[in-house]
Structure 1
Amino acid sequence: MTEELLRLSKRMSELGLSSRREADEWIARGWVRVDGKVVSELGTKVYPSQHITVERQAAAEQSKRVTVLINKPVGYVSGQAEDGYTPAVALIKAENRWAEDRSPEQFHPTQLRSLVAAGRLDIDSVGLLVLTQDGRVAKQLIGHDTEVDKEYLVRVQYTKGDKLPDSELKRLNHGLWLDGKPLLPAKVRWQNDDQLSFTLREGKKRQIRRMCELVGLKVLGLKRVRIGKVKLGDLPTGQWRYLSADEQF
Structure 2
Amino acid sequence: MEKIRISKLMAERGMCSRREADAFIERGWVRVDGEVVSELGSKAYPNQKITLEKQARQKQTQRVTIILHKPVGYVSGQAEKGYRNAVSLISGVTQYKGGRGGVRFEPGHLRGLAPAGRLDIDSTGMLILTQDGRIARQIVGEDSVIEKEYLVRVSGKLTERGLAMLNFGLTLDGQQLRPAEVSWQNEDQLRFILREGRKRQIRRMCEMVGLKVVGLKRVRIGDIVLGDLPVGQWRYLKEGEHLA
Aligned positions of 1:7-156 closer than 5 A: 7-156=5-154
- Distance apart, 1:49 and its partner CA: 2.2
Q: TM-score, normalised by structure 2?
A: 0.98
User: Bigger CA drift: 52-61 or 134-143?
Assistant: 52-61
- The 3-state SS of whatever aligns with 1:80 is coil
The alpha-carbon deviation at position 236 of structure 1 amounts to 0.2
Q: Structure 2: state its 5+ residue gaps.
A: none
Distance 2:58 2:164 in 1: 48
Partner of 1:166: 160
Q: Give the Cα separation in 1 of the matches to 2:61 and 2:73.
A: 32
Partner of 2:233: 239
- Tell me how far apart the structure 1 counterparts of residues 159 and 16 of structure 2 sit (CA, whole Å): 47
CA displacement at 1:64 relative to structure 2: 0.3
Cα-to-partner distance string for 1:162-215 (whole Å, 9 max, x where unaligned): x42111111111111111111111111001000000100111110000011111
Q: Find the aligned partners of 1:35 and 1:211 in 2 and give their Cα distance.
A: 48
Of residues 195, 199, 207, the one that matches 1:205 is 199
Instruction: Tell me how far apart the structure 1 counterparts of residues 103 and 58 of structure 2 sit (CA, whole Å).
Output: 15
1:185 aligns with 2:179: yes
1:59 is displaced (CA, Å) by 0.4
Other structure's SS at 1:119 match: coil
Deviations 1:115-167 (A, max 9, x none): 00000000000000000000000000000110201000000000xxxx42111
Aligned-partner Cα distance in 2 for 1:174–1:49: 37
The amino acid across from 1:67 in the alignment is T
Secondary structure at the aligned position of 1:94 is classed as coil
- The two structures have a TM-score, normalised by structure 1, of 0.96
Pairwise CA distance, 1:102 = 4.1
Partner of 1:248: 242
User: Once the 2 structures are TM-superposed, how far is the Cα of residue 229 of structure 1 from its aligned partner?
Assistant: 0.6
Distance in 2 between residues matched to 1:148 and 1:51, nearest whole Å:
27
Q: CA RMSD in A?
A: 0.8
Aligned to 1:226: 220
Deviations 1:67-90 (A, max 9, x none): 000000000000111122100000
- Measure, in 2, the Cα distance between the counterparts of 1:37 and 1:207: 45
Flag as ranges the 4+ runs of structure 1 deviating above 3 A: none
SS at match of 1:76: coil
Q: Distance in 2 between matches of 1:34 and 1:192?
A: 55
Match of 1:151, SS state, is: strand
d(CA) in 2 for partners of 1:13, 1:178? 27
> The residue matched to 1:96 in structure 2 has which SS?
coil
Q: SS where residue 43 of structure 1 aligns? A: coil
Q: Which amino acid aligns with 2:116?
A: A
- Unaligned stretches of 5+ residues in structure 1: none
SS of residue paired to 1:107 = coil
- What secondary structure, in the 3-state scheme, does the structure 2 residue paired with 1:100 have? helix
